[in-house]
Amino acid sequence: MATTTESAVSSADRRGKPAPAQRLLDTATTLFARHGIRAVGIDRVLAESGVARASLYSSYGSKDGLVIAYLEHLDRRDRARWNEAVAEVADPADRILAFFDLALASAPDRGFRGCQYANAATEFPDEALAPVIEHRRWMLDTLTELLRARGAADAVVLARRIRLIYDGALAGSKLDHDAEPLRLGRAIAAELIPPG
């Protein structure tokens, strides 16, 4: 699926309009984030993207394939946003806290929708969604590496704690419809990071 998505992202028709696969992905990303995956029927995605059903099948196979492409897209986008945010940040502690800073910057604009990966996992409780698992693994590995660089004695355990605080901060922000849980989560995480 990643290959199909990547080719869809890079291709466009000759008039400069995004290719049908890209329009489907863009529309699905907006609708799924705003309304939830199961609440949005494929007919709505097709209508709002202006794409024929045949293009859905040839690009993604089904709505399930589009859901996976959407989650892969989120993962690539979020990794890129974090990498861009920390490109010139040397301190591992600041790089760790960048996860919270990015959430603080985007949560109000996104209507405090919480974690899109957690939202997807909630909607598909009986399925192990590979892009969700991969994103969480990347975050844990990144935190672990940064904590090792900071000299943490048990970096893996501490990384799991910080990721759990992050998860809780996102959930609290969604439930309270407020950024304060994210600010508090950031402060708690900062206290756990070993001094440099």
pLDDT at 15: 64
Residue type, 163: R
What are 31's two structure tokens?
A: 């609708």
Q: What integer pLDDT is reported at residue 13 of this predicted model?
A: 47
pLDDT for 196 equals 77
Residue pointed to by tokens 């990547």: 6
Placement of tokens 């690539």 in the chain: 76
Distances in whole angstroms, Cα of residue 115 to Cα of each of 120, 127, 132, 143, 152: 9, 17, 11, 18, 27
Burial (CB count within 10 angstroms: exposed 0-12, middle 13-18, buried 19+), residue 189? buried
Task: Supply the pTM of this predicted model.
Answer: 0.86
Output the pLDDT for position 1.
38
Dist. CA 82–CA 90, nearest whole Å:
14
Classify residue 175 as exposed, middle or buried by CB count within 10 Å of its CB (0-12, 13-18, 19+).
exposed
Q: Which pLDDT score, from 0 to 100, does residue 60 have?
A: 95
* pLDDT given at position 7: 43
Confidence (pLDDT) at 2 = 39
Helix, strand or coil, per DSSP, at residue 12: strand
Q: Which residues of the chain have pLDDT under 50?
A: 1-14
